[in-house]
A and B are shown apart, each in its own frame.
Chain A
C-alpha cells in the first residue's frame, strides 16, 4: 500500500529525514518510536504534504502511485489521514460544520452528492457516541480551547468520519487519560480493517497494549535505526533508546 524509498527531507534548508525506507501492506499496523526531535513528526508531515517540508530525494508510492506529486488535499482525498501531534485550533469554524464540509469534499471527489445535513448529523452522532464525546463538541469551534485530550479525540473523530485507507497517528495517545486512551484505541481498532493500514507514532508501550503493532521501527537522527516485532517496543520501554543509538 505504501512504499517509502530512501526518503530525504529538509526544512528551511536543514536536512531532517536522512534516508527513510519503509514498506507497509494492507491490514498492517506499524509503530514508529524514537527520541524527541528524531524526525517522527517530520515523516508524518512529509507524507501528508506539508509545504514547508521539502523532499530532497527519494520516493513515496501510495497504492502504486507517486504520492509526492499530490497536494495535501489530494492526499486526503485518496485516503491518507494524519492525526496531528498538535491539532491546530481554528476559532470561528464550527466543528460539526467543518466535519461536514470535509465529509462532503470526500463525497464530491467520489462523484457522489453532498450529504443531507440531517443525515450527516446521524453519522456524526454515531461516531461521537463511539468516542464518548459530548454534544457540545459539535457546536464549539474546531479545537478552539479544547484540552489536550479533547483535541486528540477530535482527531480520531475526523478519522472516523473520513474513513481513510492509511492513517498516520502522531502521538495520539499523549494527553489522553487511561479511560480515554482505551476508548480511542477501541475506536481506532474498529476503524482499522483488513483493507486499511496504520502508522502509530508513540513514545509509550501502553498504546501498543491496546493497538497491537505488527512492526515496530525506531527512528533516530532522521533514519530508521532498528525494526522489529512488537517485542521491540517492550525492550525500548525497559531500556530506552541509548543502547540502540550508541550501538549504531
Chain B
C-alpha cells in the first residue's frame, strides 16, 4: 500500500512538471515573469510534494490533491450578474474581479480609489528594480511547495500600492471567482502584491467564490507594510463545496506598522491558509483572527508562522472552529521570538467547538523564545457545548435546538464581530447562522 502512495507522489510531481511544460509551450507566459516561473519550478522540485510527515503538512492530507491531475484554465468567462452579487456594499466602485486568476477589467471598477492607490499588473511592476528584488527573494526563499507552484505558473497577478500618507477611505475588494473545470479539475494561481507606503492605510477585502466546481485555487499574496501604515485584510473563503483553496499570505511589517487580518472559512472540501508574518522593525503590530464553520467532510487548516525579529512588537492570534459531522480543522502555529526581540508581547488562542463525535481538531500552538524579557501566552481548547449554559437557556423557555443554535452562533460571533467591515459581518451572521441552523435540525 505504501508503495502506491510513493508512486503517486512521484506521479504528482511529474504531473506538475508536465503541466509546466505545457504552460511554457502553449500558455504564452509573460516574458518578464518567465525567469521567475523557471526559478520557482526549480524550487518546486527541491521542495517536493508534501506527505504527512512533512512538518508543514502534519495535519493536512494532500494525497487526493496530489493524485488529481489538474489542467490550467485558459478560457474563462463569468456573468456580470454573478459578480455583482458578490461585491460588498461600499465596494461598488472599488473592486477588482479576477476570474480564474486573471484580472477582468470589464468586471472591475476602481474609480472610487482615485490616485492614492496605484493598481497595475505584476508584469509592469517587475520593471521596477526594487520590486523585482522583492519578488525574486520571495520566490527563492519559498518554503511552501504549493506557493512555489503558484510562482511557477504566475502569468500576471496584481500590484496594489497605496501612496505615502494616503488613508484610503473606501475599502478595496478583490473578488476571486473560479469558474471551475467542466472537463476535469483545474488549478488557478491568483497572485497579489500589496504595498503600503509609510503612514498610509488600506482596508482590503479578498473574497473567494466559485461559479462552478472542480477547481483548486492556489493563491499567494505578498504584503509590505511600511512605517506607521495600517493594512486591514479580510479574507473570506466561500468557495464551491468541492473546491480546494490554498492561500499563502506573506506579510512584512516595518516600524510602527500594523496588520489586522481576519480569515473566515464557511466550508469547502479543503482549505489551507498559510500565514507567515515578519515583525521586522520596532513597534510593529499584528493581529490575526480566524473562524471556520465546517460540516460533512469539510476541512480547514491554518498554518501560521510569526517572526518577532526585533524588540517592542506585538502579535495576537485568535482562531475558532466549529466542527460538525466528519469535518476536520487544524491549527499549527509557531511564534518565533528571536534574540534581541525583547518586550515582545504575543498570544495565541485556539478554541474548537465539536458538535459531533466524528469531527476532528488538531492543535499545535507553539512558542520558540530566544529572548528573556517577553510576554507570551498560548492556549488551545477543544470542547462541546456547555451543559450549564444549555440548561440556563432552557429554563428561560428556549427549546433545546434554539439553545444550541444560540450558543453555537455566539461561539463564532466573538470573532465575526471583530471584523471591521459591517457588510461582511452581516453576511457571515447570515451564512454561518444558516449553516448552523441546518446543522441542528
Contacts and interface: CB of A to CB of B under 8 A. Distances in A.
Given A51-B391, A72-B391, A88-B388, A162 B396 contact: yes
Contacts of A162: 396-397
Given A88-B388, A88-B389, A105-B399, A93 B406 contact: yes
Interface in A166-221: none
Contacts of A90: 389, 392-393, 407, 410
Interface string A23-52: 000000000000000000000000011111
A76 interface: yes
A75 B394 CA distance: 9
B440 interface: no
Interface residues of A, number: 29
Interface residues of B, number: 23
Given A82-B395, A93-B410, 8 more contacts: A72-B395, A77-B397, A87-B392, A88-B392, A90-B389, A92-B409, A101-B406, A109-B397
Contacts of B393: 90, 98
24 contacts: A49-B394, A49-B395, A71-B400, A72-B391, A73-B397, A73-B398, A73-B399, A73-B400, A76-B395, A88-B388, A88-B392, A90-B389, A90-B393, A90-B410, A91-B414, A92-B410, A92-B413, A93-B406, A98-B396, A101-B398, A102-B396, A105-B398, A106-B397, A162-B397
A84 interface: yes
A9 interface: no
Contacts of A84: 392
Given A88-B389, A92-B411, A92-B413, A102 B397 contact: yes
Nearest to A52: B387
Contacts of B397: 73, 76-77, 102, 105-106, 109, 162
A48 B400 CA distance: 15
A90 B405 CA distance: 13
B402 interface: yes
Contact of B394 (A71, A87, A92): A71
Interface in A91-129: 91-93, 98, 101-102, 105-106, 109
Contact of A91 (B399, B403, B410): B410
Interface of B: 386-389, 391-400, 402-403, 406-407, 409-411, 413-414
A247 to B, nearest CB: 36
Contacts of A106: 397
Contacts of A73: 394-395, 397-400, 403
A76 B414 contact: no
B410 A48 contact: no
A102 B398 contact: yes
A158 interface: yes
Interface in A47-95: 48-52, 71-73, 75-77, 81-82, 84, 87-88, 90-93
